[in-house]
Chains A and B, each alone.
Chain A
Amino acid sequence: MRILLLLLVSLAAAAQNQAVPSATGTGFVGSNVCKTCHADVWMNFYKNPHFKSIASGKEPPDKTGCEGCHGPAQKHVAAGGGKQTIPRAFSLMQPKQALETCLGCHARDLSKANIQRSEHTQNDIACNTCHSIHHSATPKYLLAKKQSELCYTCHATVFAQFSMPSKHRVNEGVVQCTDCHNPHGSFEATWRMAQHPRMVERALNAESPCVKCHTDKRGPFVFEHPPVRVEGCEICHFPHGSTNAKLLRRPVVFTICLECHNGADSFGTRNNGVPIQSSRHNMLDPKFQKCTTCHVAIHGSYSDAFFLR
């Protein structure tokens, strides 16, 4: 315990005792000059997460305050204002420039490790497309709008899915897009052959994000239902929303089962077809039309190869 305390104190000292950097850049005027004209921005800026760099008083001029993001303002001041004289006016910058400016500080965040190859970056969705530094609707992540509304702006069909009768409660506010997705880009999904969608975040760095909440489906089970592990939950479910109960891809369960369990060709783990149903299952008997009435442990079982328990 003493060693842990000593370590904490040492780290705290190291963290607090960083040398005050000297002003190495040229043309920096300091945030106090900016606020004479931009009082409306400055008045609430102490609530902004970026105010930390000003409060610190230890950052070099190119990493603090207004000029930390917008660049040295001497020419802008000399010209009496104007966007064109701001070295980094985000509304005039190309998306890639805006991205690189923000990554100057934020690149070290683990969640942004894949931002250069993310579909958002490829489609020119840069930081300031979603984040509003000075007029944010959410003080925590400086989002331009509430998260779901922000995503719906481009992903309108997803909004339609979350408005269906069976859905994850995103519109109701209890689930968020970022519970499953990383808008800054994710590593390859390791299920579904790393195919689309690519911005789904792995749970615990290794698993489908569904099991973060649906812990009972996580296993490990002795008798795994292979497509659940290999293809992911999407093989049977629509993850956003569905007109069918339980987010299923079909209105009744037996068609989902039969479309795989047809015994055909080289499918399945044995390469000789996914096993066909037993000849005792008469599909005209209502008892056999609701497969999971008996195969209750369809996501995986500890006791039965046919998921009966």
Chain B
Amino acid sequence: MKTRFWIFFAAIGTLSAQQVVAPTPENIGSPRGDNHGDYNYTNTFEFGYRWSLVGGDEGQYRSTVNFHNGPRLLGSSLSIDSKDGHGHYFDQILLNTMGLGNDPYQFANLRVQKNQLYRYDMTWRLNDYYNPGLTVAGGLHFMDTVRRWQDHEVTLFPQSKYRLRAGYSRNVQDGPALTTLLEPDNNVALSTALPVFVNLRREWDEYRIGGDVDVSGFKFTVLRRWDFYKEDSPYRFLPGSSAAAIGLQDDLTSLQSFVKAAPVHGSDGGWLGNLMTNRKRWSVNARMSYLMGRNNFTMNEISSGFGRLGAAANRQILVQGDAERPVVTGDLNLSAQPSSRLTVVNNTSYNSQRISGPSSYTEILNGGDSGTTINFRYLGVRLVTNSTDANYRVKDWIGFYAGYHYTYRLVRTIEGFQLAGVPNSSDTALYENTNSLHSGTAGIRIRPMKNLTANIEAEIGRANNPLTPVSDRNYHAINGLIGYRVRKLQLSTSYKQLYNVNAPAGFSSYSSHSRNYSANASLALKNWWSLDASYMKLHLDTAGGIAFFAGGVRPTLQSGVSIYVSNIHAGNLGARFAITKRVDLYTGYTITKDTGDGRSTAAAGATDPTAALFAGVQTFPLTYQSPLARVSIRIYPKLRWNVGWQYYDYHQQFNIFGYYQNFHAQTGYTSVSWAF
């Protein structure tokens, strides 16, 4: 009975985040597994067919949901454990998978270990990523790429005082995409960005080796790593690339041929050393790392076609060079516990990264060689942070903590160039920007009764010279959380606000106010049903000074305030019913609704074209909702049949991109879960 309770209790937890209808979370088979020889086996496999029927903007559906028709292994789990901890080759195998075969989101996780001798962990993931690129380039930066990750980690003698580690990680992104290139005109500002095909090919590989030694309570760790990055995406001519095709009717720019190769090969090497000890009253952790990055690049781009006035034009651009980035970090963490109620921690961190490199740029426009410019850039960011935090428990039911943090940052840039073959043509300029931040935190935690907790904390910060107008300068944050948790009922509510004012002078003033609220309830009074409900409100309003050029005939400098208001109401409701001993029903509903600032039209009555342009993007009301239902029927103790339905509806209220992205989609699945 107790075990059943805990299994059911775990199932309640699944409600709180249930948003994707499949895979089916209901367990199958005996949770204790089956014994075979010296091992115990537990397994579940769910194989099924997922379907979707999409109406409206399919590009937005693929960017938001992206489930397609087809069969797949929706989920699986396998565990094999040796019963005495002395297996011949292994003591444990854990394998979990999700979506293998056809889902846009696939995952596999494997652990194999033998006590005292080795431990191997593997993670493999796939994300079939689609992005229509609507916001940034009116759809021209379309991407339909797939990203695959894998991580492997082997630890030898994991329970010993001497441990060896080796690892390998790989990250590959490939697939078709569109990008844009400014094409041909002798005035870049008047050139037109035309789309070209690119077949993305990016690879990143990392190799690691290291070890740990424990001596007299001190642990020393060293890790050496090498990683390699390669990008050699081929760019191709897109037939019909013309200004007219992208909606610029008075511009005659068009491409007739285009070839571009821009390979980048990078190699990084680095090491990490860590020394730590943890004693009864104090502990120390000291860490240093060095990471070197280098990218070698070249680019050859040849295009021909017609300029904006219809004249034949051609251009070749040649670029080559390399960039370096050594990064040094150091951290020292000192903890003291003078009494069982007090902990004081001081941390000092240092980080220095220096990015530099030359890049030579040659342009030949309509047969005329514009010469070669050798650019040199340096960006150095040095940061020193010191923080002290104290945590004191006054009584068992009340405690306080407070901290003071100081950070100093230096940003140094060097901008230089030289015209190849031109005497005395070089120039170099050096700039420095420094910023100091003082911030303080304080918090109180109260446990007035056993299952009731309340935490309130506040932070205030002052920076004297932030890098950008939207950076934090004078900010404060307040955070509160109250929770009541017993086995059958969980209630919580939270509030968080973050105010930042960055207003050194005049029109550039910037302010940002965010206030987040949440309320949650999970209820399972009976063991045949449970309910989970949550409501969240996320408010954000910002106002920032802007300056820009606009005008009907000749653009003039104008200034104003860019306002953005977002009021997002989000809700989640889930209910699980065990209708009979064999049938489980789950129903859920999730909604995200941004009501914006309450206006009914995008431009809010603004008639001046410039005012209307900015008024129209001050808020972006939309509704995204998704009801779902799922039935899971136990046919045999080791066999279940599942069927589910999920509906997606995306509706944006204003047509701020020139078109609506609204879609609605019926999706569903049917599957069989079984255990051997």
Contacts and interface: CB of A to CB of B under 8 A. Distances in A.
Interface in B458-508: 459, 461, 463, 465-472, 477, 481, 483, 490, 492, 494, 496, 504-508
A219 B355 contact: yes
Given A47-B79, A103-B278, A223-B377, A281 B548 contact: yes
A290 B329 contact: no
B204 A215 contact: yes
A302 B411 contact: no
Contacts of B632: none
Interface stretch (A28-36, A66-74, A82-90, A238-246): A238-246
A78 interface: no
Contacts of A281: 189, 548-549, 555
Interface in B514-567: 516-520, 534, 536, 538, 542, 544-552, 555, 557, 559, 562, 564, 566
Given A216-B202, A220-B357, A278-B189, A55 B389 contact: no
Contact of B349 (A52, A187, A227, A259): A187
Interface string A245-268: 110111111110011101111111
A62 interface: no
A193 interface: yes
B470 A260 contact: yes
B455 A284 contact: no
B311 interface: no
A291 B548 CA distance: 13
Interface in B326-342: 327, 329, 331, 333, 335, 340-341
Given A195-B461, A215-B229, A220-B325, A248 B135 contact: yes
Contacts, number: 524
A44 B385 CA distance: 47
Contacts of A6: none
Interface stretch (B44-52, B290-298, B420-428): B290-298
Contact of B291 (A44, A206, A243, A286): A206
Contact of B494 (A16, A157, A260): A157
B401 A220 contact: no
A140 B94 contact: yes
A156 B189 contact: no
Contact of A305 (B40, B301, B375, B401): B375
Contact of A259 (B358, B538, B544): B544
B647 to A, nearest CB: 15
Given A40-B2, A220-B323, A258 B383 contact: no
A281 B519 CA distance: 46
Contacts of A14: 160-162
B349 A188 contact: yes
Nearest to B409: A193
User: Majority SS of interface residues in chain A?
Assistant: loop
B102 interface: no
B343 A116 contact: yes
B329 A259 contact: no
Interface stretch (B16-24, B575-583, B635-643, B667-675): B16-24
Contact of B568 (A150, A160, A255): A160
A254 to B, nearest CB: 8
A308 B147 CA distance: 25
A222 interface: yes
B135 A44 contact: no
A121 B13 contact: no
Given A47-B81, A154-B481, A255-B564, A264 B505 contact: yes
B452 interface: no
B40 A47 contact: yes
Interface residues of A, number: 140
Nearest to B436: A193
A193 B617 contact: no
A22 B16 CA distance: 48
Interface string A75-112: 00000000000000000001010000001000110100
B562 A220 contact: no
Nearest to A282: B555
B371 to A, nearest CB: 15
A96 B520 CA distance: 27
Most buried by B among A54, A145, A302: A302
Max chain A Cβ within 10 angstroms of own Cβ: one of B229, B289, B355, B387 = B355
Contacts of B231: 216
Nearest to A287: B248
B214 A108 contact: yes
B236 interface: no
Contact of B327 (A51, A135, A207, A212): A207
B105 A169 contact: yes
A292 B2 CA distance: 59
Interface in A181-230: 187-188, 190, 192-196, 202, 204-207, 212-213, 215-216, 218-224, 226-227, 229-230
Contact of A309 (B289, B299, B622): B299
Contacts of A212: 171
B14 interface: yes
Contacts of A128: none
Contacts of A302: 262, 264, 295, 297, 299, 319, 321, 323, 359
Contact of B613 (A94, A283, A292, A303): A283
Nearest to A10: B162
A12 interface: yes
B175 interface: no
A260 B329 contact: no
Given A156-B534, A195-B472, A283-B610, A292 B141 contact: yes
Nearest to B357: A222
B3 interface: yes
A274 B568 CA distance: 31
Contacts of B391: 116-117, 121-122
Given A152-B16, A224-B377, A258-B562, A163 B590 contact: yes
B283 interface: yes
A113 B437 contact: no
B82 A164 contact: no
B136 A264 contact: no
B521 to A, nearest CB: 11
A96 B136 CA distance: 49
B405 to A, nearest CB: 7
A194 B566 contact: no
B418 interface: no
Interface string A144-182: 111011101110110111011110010111110000000
B73 interface: no
Contacts of B299: 302-303, 309
A235 interface: yes
A146 B409 CA distance: 39
B323 A265 contact: no
B199 interface: no
10 contacts: A40-B3, A159-B536, A171-B20, A204-B225, A204-B270, A221-B355, A226-B413, A290-B137, A303-B319, A309-B317
Given A156-B534, A296-B193, 11 more contacts: A124-B399, A144-B13, A146-B13, A156-B518, A165-B64, A174-B107, A222-B377, A252-B656, A279-B555, A296-B179, A302-B297
Interface of A: 8, 11-12, 14-16, 18, 40, 43-44, 46-47, 51-52, 54-56, 94, 96, 103, 107-108, 110, 113-114, 116-117, 121-124, 135, 137, 139-140, 144-146, 148-150, 152-154, 156-157, 159-161, 163-166, 169, 171-175, 187-188, 190, 192-196, 202, 204-207, 212-213, 215-216, 218-224, 226-227, 229-231, 235, 243-246, 248-255, 258-260, 262-271, 273-274, 276-284, 286-287, 289-294, 296, 302-305, 308-309
